[in-house]
């Protein structure tokens, strides 16, 4: 081989090696980039798609919360438009909890402003979660991280716990609200919520008795006895204690009958549990003297809890209270009904006679039967109503 041919072959070989090295290098970079995209997509997203996704996320969450506010319970929002928009809202609802959490992590101040924004009725997004306990709790949890939860109060002076109690009282309300209330009671500010007084001096415990929230009442009964006793004696507008509010028997959904919470209070346990929450409960929280003090307490109209239940025809409540005490002062209290002063025994004889159904007759008959076994029955039988009739005279 000539010297000239050798000298020509050396550059060719070098160029070939360089090309092969370049190809291998490009392949390694491609493989590395692909691996980074697969295993650390968060970094890649931050590097290559930083501004646009956050902007879109903010708009997405803002639109969702605005729609949530539109879905409030106000009657003006019911109609074809609301039905159509509600269907669209439901399609995106499930993915919005993680979306809200992302926005909170990326732009907490912007999300804080969205959570504080009010609609035309002055409601924040949290206040419009009346039908959605899961979304209510999700928003409450983010509000807690933003420092908005503890001091929140709506236009009626209700804190977050009171809002949840009100929501669980509505028509068709879900037992999932009970879980929401249990979760709220685990939060650091739960004791401050229980001590709080809203509009008309209403406390969360007043609402819990009014709407039959066994979760909150059970929580209070397991506090230190002194604290529980103090909360149970607080009075709201009209001088009504929580027990007075239960005697009204308000509600149309989950909280339609407050006898459960009253049984829990008066007995500390029940022989035949009204719900699984009562099972295994054998601890008596208070002595008889304190419970009878609660039953003797009068509101500004001079009504005891039993008299209030009598005025409202709340038969289950009457029976629960009558079973608990032998005190003639409690059982023989007079109250106005149909324009005359009467007692529970007068009322029972009157409606046992007039009961239109067998069930109604039996319920009033049960009250008479319990009263007849009381040590004070002679005193009760001797009390006259405002026109001089004894209880048995009403039955004739």
Determine what percent of the chain falls in helix, strand and coil, rounding each to the nearest 5.
65, 0, 35
Q: Using the predicted structure, report yes or no on whether residue 115 has a pLDDT greater than 60.
A: yes
Residue closest to 142 by CA, chosen among 102, 180, 175, 181: 102
Instruction: Write the CB contacts of 365 (distance below 8 Å, at least 6 apart in sequence).
Output: 348, 352
- pLDDT per residue over 196-233, tens digit each? 998 889 999 999 999 888 889 989 988 888 899 999 99
d(CA 9, CA 14): 9
pLDDT of 256 strictly over 50: no
User: What confidence category does residue 20 fall into, taking pLDDT thresholds of 50, 70 and 90?
Assistant: low
pLDDT at 132 over 90: no
Rounded distance between C-alpha atoms, residue 180 and residue 156, angstroms = 21
Model confidence at 171, pLDDT cuts 50, 70, 90, reads very low
Q: Is the dihedral of CA 114, 120, 122, 128 positive or negative?
A: negative
Separation between Cα atoms, residue 70 and residue 311, nearest integer Å: 39
Is pLDDT of 116 > 90? no
How is residue 341 annotated by DSSP? E
Residue 270 has pLDDT above 80, yes or no: no
pLDDT, tens digit, for every residue of 286-333?
Answer: 778 888 999 999 999 999 999 999 998 888 899 999 998 999 999 999
Strand partners, 335: 342
pTM over 0.85: no
Q: What is the CATH number of domain 156-173+182-303?
A: 1.25.40.20
Are 120 and 66 in contact by the 8 Å Cβ rule? The answer is: no
From 223, 243, 159, 169, select the one nearest 196 (Cα to Cα). Answer: 159
């Amino acid at each position: 081989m000539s010297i000239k041919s050798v000298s020509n072959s050396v550059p060719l070989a070098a160029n070939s090696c360089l090309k092969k090295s370049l190809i291998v290098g490009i392949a390694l970079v491609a493989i590395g980039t692909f691996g980074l995209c697969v295993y650390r997509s968060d970094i890649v997203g931050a590097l290559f798609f930083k501004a646009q996704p956050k902007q879109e996320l903010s708009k997405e969450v803002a639109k969702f919360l605005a729609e949530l506010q539109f879905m409030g319970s106000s009657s003006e929002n019911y109609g074809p438009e609301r039905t159509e928009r509600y269907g669209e809202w439901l399609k995106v609802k499930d993915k919005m909890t993680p979306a809200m959490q992302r926005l909170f992590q990326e732009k907490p101040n912007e999300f804080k402003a969205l959570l504080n924004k009010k609609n035309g009725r002055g409601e924040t997004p949290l206040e419009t979660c009346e039908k959605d306990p899961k979304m209510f709790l999700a928003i409450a949890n983010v509000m807690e991280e933003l420092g908005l939860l503890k001091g929140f109060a709506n236009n009626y002076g209700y804190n977050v716990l009171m809002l949840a109690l009100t929501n669980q009282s509505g028509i068709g309300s879900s037992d999932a609200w009970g879980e929401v209330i249990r979760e709220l009671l685990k939060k650091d500010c739960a004791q401050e919520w229980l001590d709080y007084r809203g509009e008309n001096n209403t406390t969360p415990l007043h609402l819990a008795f009014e709407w039959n929230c066994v979760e909150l009442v059970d929580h209070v009964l397991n506090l230190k006895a002194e604290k529980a006793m103090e909360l149970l004696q607080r009075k709201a507008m009209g001088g009504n204690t929580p027990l007075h509010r239960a005697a009204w028997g308000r509600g149309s959904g989950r909280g339609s009958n407050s006898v459960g919470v009253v049984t829990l209070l008066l007995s500390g346990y029940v022989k035949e549990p009204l719900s699984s929450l009562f099972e295994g409960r054998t601890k008596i929280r208070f002595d008889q003297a304190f419970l009878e003090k609660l039953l003797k307490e009068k509101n500004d109209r001079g009504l005891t809890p039993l008299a209030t239940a009598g005025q409202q025809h709340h038969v289950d409540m009457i029976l629960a209270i009558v079973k608990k005490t032998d005190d003639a002062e409690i059982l023989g209290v007079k109250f106005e009904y149909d324009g005359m002063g009467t007692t529970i025994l007068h009322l029972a004889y009157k409606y046992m006679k007039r009961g239109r159904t067998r069930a109604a007759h039996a319920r009033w008959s049960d009250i008479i039967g319990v009263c007849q076994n009381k040590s004070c029955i002679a005193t009760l039988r001797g009390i006259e109503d405002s026109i001089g009739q004894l209880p048995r005279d009403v039955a004739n």
